[in-house]
Amino acid sequence: MLIRSGDVLRLSRAASVQFVRPITVRVIRVLTDWHTYDGWVWIDAYVLDAAGDAVSRRTLFLKPAGVEPLKAPALRPAVRRPVPRKVPTS
């Protein structure tokens, strides 16, 4: 599998033994200038929670053949919150 920026992936033991419990990540970039074993890659990624929000940033070493591609979660619209205004006192 070709991994690219923006991909949402499920990483389990099939991707690397470090993933005892599977995690979901969104790829920031593939570190192509880092040397690896054949069939392995380094990536920078955000770890996602159940709501699809980034909770931490990690650099990971994995086998692309063992990752499970997921559909990217839909982006939620930003919520605008009113800013309280100070009333001038006389």
Tell me whether residue 65 is in a domain: yes
Tell me whether residue 76 is in a domain: no
Residues 6+ apart with CB under 8 A from 9: 3, 15, 24, 25, 26, 27, 45, 67, 68, 69, 70
Q: Which domain does 16 fall in, by range?
A: 8-70
pLDDT tens across the length of the chain (90 residues): 789 999 999 999 999 999 999 999 999 999 999 888 888 999 999 999 988 889 999 999 999 999 999 986 666 666 777 778 777 776
Q: What is the reported pTM? A: 0.75
Tell me whether residue 62 is in a domain: yes
In the chain, the number of structural domains is: 1
